[in-house]
Amino acid sequence: MRVKLTVQKFDPEQDVKPHNRDYFVEAGRETTVLAALMKIKAEIDGTLTFRASCRAAICGSCPMQINGSQKLACRTSIFEELEHHQKISVGPMANMPVIKDMVVQMDPFWEKIRAVTPYVISSDDGERPIPTEALKTIQTDLENADACIMCGACLSACNSFEASDQFLGPAALAKAIRFQVDPRDEQHDTRLNALQESNGIWDCVRCVSCVQVCPKDVQPMEQIVRLRRRSIEKGLTDSVGARHITKFVKIVGEEGRLNEARLPIMMTWGSLKKMLRIIPLGIKMLLHGKAPITPHKVPDVHEIQAIFKRKQESKR
Amino acid sequence: MKYAYYPGCAAKGAAPELHQATMKVVQKLGIEIKELMAFNCCGAGVITEADPDLAYTLNARTLATAEKDHLDIMTVCGTCQGVLGGINKKLQGDDALRARINVALKESTGLEYHGTVEVKHLQWILVKDFGIDALKTFISHPLTDLSIAPFYGCYILRPSSTSRFDDWENPVSLEKLIQAIGAHPVPYDGRTKCCGFPVFLEKEKIALSMVGERIGEAKEKGGDAMVTPCPLCHMSLDIYQERAEKNRQREKGFTEKLDMPILHLPQLLGLAMGFTPDELGMKRHLSPTGSFIDKIESQN
Ligand code: SF4
Ligand code: SF4
Ligand code: FES
């Protein structure tokens, strides 16, 4: 079958801005977007530029925007895309500087990976026996965080990164959990402390985009959530982000529903600056009948309280 | 067509106009509902962050309550839909998980959930169960010539493993509803992105930049108003709009005002069914709706 690929081309040395070009190629049931691009490069347009290597979703070189979201070109079927979108549009990953056509600057991605110190820190100089027993559970504890092939698709899709390029981002934070569960690492607490900082785990907006695009089901957002949970378990409860969780749970445990007037006060309690930010909004909401100052009255609230109580007791 | 109605905390708290507009619209359409009066918070994903089993048990209580009446659940909040609907899919698909959660649920409430309930957002109910053609027969005041920017938000679309109604890459249900009321849906990238709500108190700057981007793009593409199926997105885009506008002017050098009315889905439909802005609680919005209402009134 003859199919049309609309490809975004951009050569910063020649073009003022990116432009689209349509290519027509023969494709069969098994043809991938990467195979089609290679065919175009070989037969139609030798200038077409993209990265690829393994052609088997292993090396992580070939992520690009295909029909609007980040996908590995070597794993994306032309047929399925056509079925789904009735068209095929291809472009470089979003939110990263374009070098040429589909090739983007990956430096921001690698900087973030480096920022989480992606290796085991240990005083062992190779003398100690390998802790085989302790290492047995690591595979389950990782919950697939180690499946990452460093393609950068998640960072490109990350809504928080788009708004704030200093955010450590999904892949680096998913990498960070690896060193929380590795029994050989001696810096668990220092590492976790560092992730509380601005640009760390509390900057994720939970938009689920990383989970959605990751070709290896690393579920970066879920890994970030694990880091958050771990932080609270280890007593790192002072950040506004941590309080968002603990106070939310406290309010629903008492009232059965979220009280939107109480939560901001409890979250920002103690920080005059933050409180001064919310008070004017609170007043405006009040004037518009949007500040629920009276607590929710929930019938059978004892049932909800019982669920929380049972949970607390089981934790003890 | 009868549903157990799960309003969610926002529609019963900071966004009462959503509940108000929902009641008007479902009554007019003859969709029967039984409100879950004793409902609990779905946890908004936050309780899941603290303790997944706790969130599962809370949502199992909601599901079990609807199940007793043999009713599917109608939500009006994208976040509730994502959380309650997502947990429902997990409980339905994993017998061991459901058994474990049922132990906790039964001990604390006497209830048990068997996995027979479906959770559907009003948006989905209208497109699928009620039907666009049927809906059209209720449109007495079509919003012809108006451009409405659909804003889906995150949880009604993602993760697609548990939220399959729309295609997350290219959802169409809001567009269909906008067309049904005679208006023109605005195409723009931001429609499936985050509104910033989850980090407003932690990272106001990130959140404001998101609000500014979303509204700015919708405006640039010609939107007269934005519509959302999620009251939390509504809060972001409505309550924080003024700050986002200032932030956008300060950080990015824009001069124009955002001036964007933000409507809850049932408000938009309600307007096209002839309800007045007051009846739909639009006075409660913080961002300006005046010029939009004038445009509608000049048409009818
Ligand atoms: S869930 Fe968090 S880390 Fe993942 S893409 Fe969204 S903001 Fe980024
Ligand atoms: S987490 Fe997934 S999407 Fe992100 S870099 Fe690793 S493999 Fe790619
Ligand atoms: S070419 Fe290696 S992942 Fe696609």
Ligand 3 atom closest to Cα of residue A74: 4
Hey, are the CB atoms on A245 and B50 less than 8 Å from each other?
Answer: yes
CA atoms of B197 and B201, how far apart (whole Å)? 9
**Could you identify the residue written with the tokens 């889905």?**
B265
pLDDT of residue A136: 84
Q: Is the per-residue pLDDT at A126 higher than 90?
A: no
What is the dotted CATH code of the domain comprising A2-104? Answer: 3.10.20.30
B169 contact residues in A (CB cutoff 8 A): 67-69, 84-85
| 8 Å CB contact between B149 and B227 | yes
What is the largest distance, in Å, between two alpha-carbon atoms of chain B? 59
Contact A257 B40 (CB under 8 A): yes
Residue pair A82/A88 in contact by the 8 Å Cβ criterion: yes
Does residue A69 belong to the interface with chain B, where contact is any CB pair within 8 Å? yes
* Residue range(s) in chain A whose domain bears CATH number 1.10.1060.10: 107-233
Select from B105, B167, B202 the Cβ nearest to the Cβ of A240. Answer: B202
Does the beta carbon of A64 lie inside 6 Å of ligand 2? Answer: no
Q: Which of B105, B194, B284 sits opposite A290 (nearest CB)?
A: B284
Residues A11 and A18: beta-carbon distance below 8 Å: no
Which of chain A's residues have a Cβ under 8 Å away from the Cβ of B61? 303-304, 307
Structure token digits, residue A291: 């500040």
Give the list of residues 6+ apart from residue A19 with CB closer than 8 angstroms, or none.
Answer: A8, A9, A10
Residues B202-248: tens digit of each pLDDT: 899 999 999 999 999 999 999 999 999 999 999 999 999 999 999 99
Q: What is the 3-state secondary structure (H, E, C) of B273-286?
A: CCCCCCCCCHHHCC
Question: Which of B12, B37, B48, B49 to probe the A interface (max A CBs under 10 A)?
Answer: B49
Region A133-154: what's the mean pLDDT? 92
Chain A residue nearest residue B242, CA to CA: A281
ipTM of this predicted complex?
0.95
Chain B: nearest CA to A259, how far in angstroms?
7
Residue A271 binned pLDDT confidence (cut-offs 50, 70, 90): confident
Report the pLDDT value the prediction gives residue B79, as an integer from 0 to 100: 98
Q: What is the pLDDT of residue A315?
A: 80
For position A102, what pLDDT does the model report? 98
How high is the pLDDT of residue A127? 87
Identify the burial level of A290 via C-beta atoms within 10 angstroms of its C-beta, where 0-12 means exposed, 13-18 middle and 19 or more buried: buried
pLDDT in tens, A80-121: 999 999 999 999 999 999 999 999 999 999 999 999 999 999
Start-end ranges of CATH 3.10.20.30 in chain A?
2-104
Cis peptide before B277 (omega within 30 of 0): no
Ligand 2 neighbourhood includes A224 CB (under 6 angstroms): no
* Residue A161 DSSP label: H
pLDDT at A140: 87
Closest ligand, as measured to the CA of B207: 1
Q: B82: left (phi > 0), else alpha (psi -120 to 50), else beta?
A: alpha
Query: Atom 3 (ligand 2): residue with closest C-alpha?
Result: A214
pLDDT in single tens digits along all 300 residues of chain B: 899 999 999 999 999 999 999 999 999 999 999 999 999 999 999 999 999 999 999 999 999 999 999 999 999 999 999 999 999 999 999 999 999 999 999 999 999 999 999 999 999 999 999 999 999 999 999 999 999 999 999 999 999 999 989 999 999 999 999 999 999 999 999 999 999 999 999 899 999 999 999 999 999 999 999 999 999 999 999 999 999 999 999 999 999 999 999 999 999 999 999 999 999 999 999 998 988 999 988 876
**Closest CA of chain A from B172, distance in Å:** 12
Higher pLDDT, A150 or A315: A150
Q: Check pLDDT > 70 for residue A31.
A: yes
Q: Which residues contact A156 (CB under 8 A, 6 or more apart)?
A: A63, A65, A70, A93, A94, A95, A96, A104, A213
- Cβ-defined contact of A267 to B201 (cutoff 8 Å): yes
Confidence category of residue A314, pLDDT binned at 50, 70, 90: confident
CATH number at A107-233: 1.10.1060.10
In ligand 1, which atom is closest to the CA atom of A211?
4
Q: Which atom of ligand 3 is nearest to the CA of A73?
A: 4
Q: Who among A208, A258, A311 is closest to B159 (CB)?
A: A208
Q: In angstroms, rounded to a whole number, what is the distance separating the alpha carbons of residues A179 and A121?
A: 9
Interval A177-198 mean pLDDT: 95
CA distance A301 to A306: 9
Lowest-confidence pick of A75-84, A104-113, A126-135, A215-224: A126-135
DSSP-derived pairing of the beta strands A2-9 and A19-26: antiparallel
Question: What b/e readout covers B223-259, taking b as 16+ CB neighbours within 10 angstroms?
Answer: bbbbbbbbbbbbbbbbbbbbbbbebbeeeeeeeeebe
Instruction: At B173, give phi and psi (nearest 5°).
Output: -65, -40
Place of tokens 């708290």: B13
Q: What is the pTM of this model?
A: 0.96
Atom index in ligand 3 nearest the CA of residue A58 equals 3
Residue B276 confidence (pLDDT): 96
Torsion, CA A164, CA A166, CA A167, CA A170, rounded to 10? 110
Chain A residues with CB under 8 Å of B108 CB are 303, 306-307, 309-310
| pLDDT over 70 percentage in chain A | 100
Sequence-ordered list of residues with C-beta below 8 angstroms from that of A129, at least 6 positions apart, any chain: none
Domains of chain B: 2-121 (1.20.1050.140), 131-299 (3.40.50.11810)
Beta-carbon count within 10 A of A136 CB:
11
Query: Which residues are near ligand 3 (CB < 6 Å)?
Result: A 52-55, 57-62, 72, 74
Q: Cβ–Cβ of A304/B58 closer than 8 Å?
A: yes
Q: How far is the CA of B250 from the centre of ligand 2 (A)?
A: 34
At residue B48, the pLDDT reads: 97
Q: Report strand pairing: A89-91 vs A98-100.
A: unpaired
| Residue A290 forms contact with B (CB below 8 Å) | yes
Which string of DSSP letters, residue by residue, matches A34-48?
Answer: HHHHHHHHHHT-TT-
Report pLDDT for B1: 87
Question: Which H/E stretch holds residue B34?
Answer: strand B32-35
* pLDDT higher than threshold 90 for residue A128: no
